[in-house]
A and B are shown apart, each in its own frame.
Chain A
């Protein structure tokens, strides 16, 4: 087989990388905090997929012992690697718990700022800061406008 065809056996890593990058893109580019968390969940799913796909043995079966008769193990059966499964199983449950913390923070941000859009939140924060140093609301807005142009 040519080296290229052999390297096609790496397809699982490549697809995982693409999936991971879709998640990463959502985390970076999206302004909505809930959407960012969805991106983070996709990213996490890709990582879990990477580990589980490494545990696969071709021709193998699920890592649950098969008994030929009670107490006797069947001979010659190939099992996939149980270790990645254990690590990822707990990671999934921990993942949903931490996602809940993230969503809770998003809810609090929504209550405090009236929005979960990242740029709106930073604009409101900046307005508050300008207000604190004594600028009137109109001046503060103008200041903020010129800062936006500089970007």
Chain B
């Protein structure tokens, strides 16, 4: 066991978590959450999880920071002073001690003989090249071996999008109450911000498409591409305002698109059932060459994932920023 860079990064992560807890300004805390995610992404990539690192960097450091900021635009940024809770500390200490006691039987870090590497993982590592034929094993497992599971995850993302729309978006439409908040005027007038974001936008969108299409060969795939695409649009909205984004993709259209991806994913599964194969068995697409069918099936399924994830993220942003004006007009109690 040697002192490694993973431990140092982990130390940073812990410090960051404690500072987030101490920080009473919520605006600063949400920025620190972004840094927390970025450190975590670095740690994931040191642990050979490039796909996870990619997702964490785009989701944690990009998307969820925007979400927290959009929320804080609707409420006070200062947290109320609260007494240090000894009882909470006691609960946490006891739970932590129990968990650490439980780790004594766990395999050591990096142990190749650990049970987790023995069961089904060997099948993925040894046979996925002949069965699926994609270099990125994570994509093979995600979209093909565990395609049903991923379908469920996508449904959860879709449901969350519907949930946010129901909670925040229903009374009063977006169009008659276009919000000037969420796009402060001064950002509009900053020439550097305008120039840089305008220059970056095409590259962000192009990168999203690359990540989408290249997920079979390297890190990436529908989940990451969807979030990157959404951040491209959200950047546009942050600088030029939601009204401008509404002209590019109307909210009603995006709301409908959220379901298209899920239906597309499910449609591929239904197609294979109609062809006499099991649900989401992509060999059905090209029974003569199962590997070719797998490639096409994974591509289509990842496309469905990308469509729904990006649409849900954009809808969530729309809903939160549209709340602005109405939230401020609400009488204080």
A binds B: yes
Which residues 4-21 in A have Cβ within 8 Å of B in the complex?
5-15, 17-21
Interface string of B54-71 (1 = CB under 8 A from A): 011001100110011011
Asked whether B68 lies within 8 Å of A103 as measured between CB atoms, the reply is: yes
- List chain B residues, Cβ under 8 A from A82: 121, 124-125, 137-138, 141
- Give the contact stretch, choosing among B15-23, B182-190, B194-202, B273-281: B15-23
Which chain B residues (94-112) contact chain A, with CB distance < 8 Å? 95-96, 99-100, 103-104, 106-112
A133 to chain B, nearest CB (A): 20
**Segment with Cβ contacts to A, from B83-91, B244-252, B263-271:** B83-91
- Residues of chain B within 8 A (CB-CB) of A31 are 79-80, 82
Asked if A61 and B48 sit within 8 Å, CB to CB, the answer is: yes
Cα A95 to Cα B309 in complex, Å, equals 12
Residues of B within 8 A of A57 (CB): 48, 110-112, 117
**Complex Cα spacing A10 to B108, Å:** 5
CB distance from B77 to the nearest CB of A (A): 9
With known contacts A28-B91, A97-B161, A53–B138 Cβ distance under 8 A: no
CB distance from A111 to the nearest CB of B (A): 5
CA distance A30 to B68 in the complex (A): 17
| A residues less than 8 Å from B163 (CB atoms) | 101, 104
Q: Which of B20, B111, B137, B167 interacts with A79 by CB under 8 Å?
A: B137
Known: A25-B92, A55-B49. A110 touches B333 (CB 8 A): no
B67–A84 touching, CB < 8 Å = no
**A81: nearest residue on chain B (CB-CB)?**
B121
In the complex, per-residue mask of B319-333: 1 if CB is within 8 Å of any chain A CB, else 0 = 110010011001011
The answer to whether A38 touches B124, judged by C-beta atoms less than 8 angstroms apart, is no
A7 to B101, CA, bound (A): 12
The contact string, 1 if C-beta is below 8 Å from chain A, for chain B 200-226, is 000000000000000001110101001
Residues of B within 8 A of A90 (CB): 142, 149-150, 153, 223
Q: How many A-B residue pairs have CB under 8 A?
A: 298
Interface class of chain A by DSSP: helix
Q: How does the 8 Å CB contact mask read for B7-34 relative to A, with 1 for contact and 0 for none?
A: 1001101100110110000100110010
Shortest Cβ distance from residue A115 to the other chain B in the assembled complex, whole angstroms:
8
**Cβ-neighbour of A6 out of B20, B70, B108, B125 (below 8 A):** B108
Does B157 contact A111, Cβ atoms closer than 8 Å? no
- Asked if A56 and B55 sit within 8 Å, CB to CB, the answer is no
Closest residue of chain A to B152 (Cβ to Cβ) is: A90
A97 and B79 contact, CB distance less than 8 A: no
- Selecting from B35-43, B172-180, B233-241, B294-302, the interface stretch reads B35-43
**Cross-chain contact A96 with B218 (CB below 8 angstroms):** no
Complex CA gap A6/B91 in Å reads 29
Residues on A with beta carbons closer than 8 Å to the beta carbon of B80: 31-32, 117, 120
Residues in B whose Cβ lies below 8 Å from that of A78: 112
Asked if B192 is at the interface of the complex by the 8 Å CB criterion, the answer is no
**Known A25-B88, A57-B117, A107-B71: A41·B64 in contact at CB below 8 Å:** yes
Stretch at the interface among A44-52, A134-142, A143-151: A44-52
Are B96 and A17 in contact, CB atoms less than 8 angstroms apart?
Answer: yes
Q: Do residues B71 and A19 form an inter-chain contact, with CB atoms below 8 A?
A: no
Q: Can you list 18 residue pairs at the A/B interface with Cβ under 8 Å?
A: A11-B7, A21-B99, A22-B18, A32-B26, A38-B29, A38-B33, A45-B13, A59-B112, A60-B110, A85-B52, A92-B60, A93-B59, A99-B64, A104-B319, A106-B71, A108-B168, A113-B333, A115-B333
Given contact pairs A10-B106, A12-B6, A23-B17, a sample of 8 additional A-B residue pairs in the complex whose CB atoms are under 8 Å apart: A22-B17, A28-B91, A34-B79, A57-B110, A62-B50, A64-B50, A64-B135, A64-B137
Chain B interfacial positions (CB closer than 8 Å to A): 1, 6-7, 10-11, 13-14, 17-18, 20-21, 26, 29-30, 33, 36-37, 40, 43-44, 47-52, 55-56, 59-60, 63-64, 67-68, 70-72, 74-75, 79-80, 82, 84-85, 88-89, 91-93, 95-96, 99-100, 103-104, 106-112, 114, 116-117, 120-121, 124-125, 129, 135-138, 141-142, 146, 149-150, 153, 156-157, 160-161, 163-164, 167-168, 217-219, 221, 223, 226-227, 309, 312, 316, 319-320, 323, 326-327, 330, 332-333
The 6 closest A-B pairs by CB, nearest first: A58-B110, A9-B108, A97-B160, A80-B48, A29-B88, A114-B333
